Structure 1
């Protein structure tokens, strides 16, 4: 009888936990204060829109803004003479044809981008442009003072992090500039350097987020992050061919799709004031699939295409 009573009590406790978890998943503001970001971005241009102009150039950023983007995504490195430069790669081989690192060159000695550059997330397609010069982060800040930006710190470099933070403070952009990094140790340094800037989930924190979601603990746990950036898995091995061998396996991509593309998870985060952005959507069908999941924003290499899609299929207004 005691064993039976114990089992019944355990079942009751589990039942109460499940009910509370599901209720709070749908009503998170009972336990958590809603985050209030000073921007809301449905349209994000990856590397400034690298499918329409040469990636990460001033021409790309200017073009993306002119066609209606609401956020510019970019990556930061440090040159030999201490300049914060916008570039996705640390080695210049893919972008310029020269097998040298940015950190080994002064800013004035950086080579030009190739005349035709393959779009990383649209294999077999190339972009061109009149502007092939690398650009300083400071110049991007000067040219687009009110444009929200996501800055991915690509090196675990204390000087780079300090200089990025200093520029953000100098141009009073803390509220509209996002710390981005896949690495948790880099993100910890970024947050210590400038804790007033919103920041994204790292890979480790993203894995923890999924664990909390599937165990029912997520509604009870506070979150410091303000944005979730994640692949739209259906693009993997179709428009984007990853370097990681594990992502080339169809079952792994299928499993990733099933585990991560959870509308109830996205809805919970959005109700808590976070923004959820899926990347890199370079076809209208992928944009449609992303918005159908209820995300707040889509990242693309083709800002004109995304603008046209949003104009034809306006999402519902944001919930504040």
Structure 2
């Protein structure tokens, strides 16, 4: 990728793309048959063992103020318990996750997997400040994001206050909407201003009938030193097609498949 000459890449992006981002870790069919679920300690460990350098995960805050890796705001889909993450203690959640691969907190993830670069989606407003403080000492290997630009910026501010190397960041929904409009009308100066405070754009290939990832959009991002990562891509043929198009990263539930696909060209 040709980065803008006046833009220095964040350490999170060390090494050349394409990048494989293990979506909520890695849960193989065999692991799933033994009860392992996404965003568990076992899932992160499996992604690491498979050779994934990047793990994409999600951050919520428990009732006792612990940041945990968990996607949904309630426990029903993963554990069958209808309560909100915010309404249970970390101990209660640990008990529920004990036979599902084990609960993993953000602090544990950063300590237990020192070579992993984390892509963290701040899911809850209350989690933004605690997430920022926790990742402050690990800014070189963390990318912070959120669908809410306000939430990701709050986490970034907290990290910057407490650390020396700010985390990388990717665009929220409002920023992406402005980007797509600026690309559609060919407003290069506007595109540059939209992308000046982000390092990556992480998007689905399409949203309904709307195509998001295109050669034109990729060119605009790359011209401004910004990578494009596409989620959630699990089919090998789709991986190859998107990589041929020029995307910089694949967010996938099957990091093992994506790593093999890239290795075999």
Range into which the TM-score falls when normalised by the shorter chain: 0.7 to 0.9
Give the alignment's Cα RMSD to 1 decimal.
2.1
**Which consecutive residues of structure 2, in runs of 5 or more, have no partner in the other structure?**
32-36, 161-165
Distance in 2, Cα, partners of 1:112 & 1:286 = 35
Aligned to 1:178: 143
User: Quick one: distance in 1 between partners of 2:57 and 2:87?
Assistant: 21
C-alpha displacement at 1:193, in angstroms?
A: 2.1
Q: For 1:271 and 1:184, locate their aligned partners in 2 and report how far apart those are by CA, in whole Å.
A: 22
Normalising by structure 2, we get a TM-score of 0.85
Residue 240 of structure 2: which of 278, 288, 299 is its match? 288
Matches within 5 A, 1:130-141: 131-141=100-110
Q: CA deviation at 1:271?
A: 4.0
Match of 2:250 among 288, 298, 301: 298
Distance 1:193 1:100, change over 3 A: same
Which consecutive aligned stretches of 4+ in structure 1 deviate over 3 angstroms post-superposition?
50-53
Structure 2 matches for 1:146-157, cutoff 5 A? 146-157=115-126
Structure 1 unmatched ranges of 5 or more: 1-26, 115-129, 234-246, 248-252, 314-320
Q: Give the equivalent residue in structure 1 for 2:163.
A: none
Task: Tell me the TM-score normalized by structure 1.
Answer: 0.71
How far has the Cα of 1:131 moved from its partner?
Answer: 4.6
**Match in the other structure for 2:177:** 207
SS at 2:55 equivalent: strand
Deviations 1:226-258 (A, max 9, x none): 01100122xxxxxxxxxxxxx6xxxxx23x12x
Radius of gyration: which is bigger? 1
Alpha-carbon distance, 1:208 to partner: 0.4
Counterpart-to-counterpart distance in 1, 2:23 and 2:140: 20
Report if the CA contact (8 A) 1:71-1:147 is conserved: yes
Distance 2:9 2:157 in 1: 21
Alignment match, 1:231? 204
